[in-house]
Amino acid sequence: MICESILMEYFKNYSDELKPLLATVEAKLEIRAIYDHTARVAIYEMEEKDRQEELKKIERHLHRAKLDCYKTLCIFGEINADSFEDNYRNISLGDVDSGKFYPKYLELKNVAREKVIKAKSNEKAITSNEHEVSRLYQEAVIAYDDFEKFISSNFKEIEWTVQFLRKYSKKGYIIAIIIAFVLGIITTILGSIIGKYLHLI
């Protein structure tokens, strides 16, 4: 059990911190490669076919750099979703905005995740097209943006629910203490009466 919790902590650390860092590093490496190929075309004398090849390499690196940025934004979108759910784990999101918030929340989150899965599948396909892959990742980023905007637009309702539940819990706690106190008195009285009755017998 301890080992499992440690592994989960390692995986969370990888997902939340290392994975975004790796994606950022990859994007920077692609950008450096773009600079290198651009410099070769601009500075060195070369035949036209070699120049065209360098230009194609620049285009490929640009494509990969864009993909790395899209993927990083998708990772951040998922991290933000997990963080939001973790922060509000003690309240029922189904109570927010009279039950209207949570179904839409789930719908937008699932749409964003499905778009990422579709983009990844397309990227791995043998017949994948660079522009199509880029478009699909772009759609996923937009979906996560819509998801986060929806959460932001409902912060007032979310905070109202938090405050309401706090007041409700406090009232419930006070009522529970009063009930326990009253029951204690009743039990004492009944115990006294029963004790006297048994004594008489």
pLDDT tens track of the chain, all 201 residues? 556 677 677 667 766 777 776 666 666 666 666 667 677 767 777 788 887 888 888 888 888 888 888 888 898 899 889 989 888 888 888 888 888 999 999 999 999 999 999 999 998 887 778 889 999 999 999 999 999 999 999 988 888 877 766 655 544 444 444 444 445 555 555 555 545 544 444
Instruction: Count the alpha carbons within 13 Å of 17 in the hemisphere toward its beta carbon.
Output: 6
Q: How far apart are CA 145 and CA 100, in angstroms?
A: 20
Q: How far apart are CA 5 and CA 26, in angstroms?
A: 30
Rg (CA), the chain: 30
Residue boundaries of the structural domains of the chain? 2-153, 157-201
Helix (H, G, I), strand (E, B) or coil at 201: coil
Q: Is the distance from CB of 116 to CB of 183 less than 8 angstroms? A: no
The DSSP string of 156-185 is: HHHHHHHHHHHHHHHHHHHHHHHHHHHHHH
User: pTM score, two decimals?
Assistant: 0.64
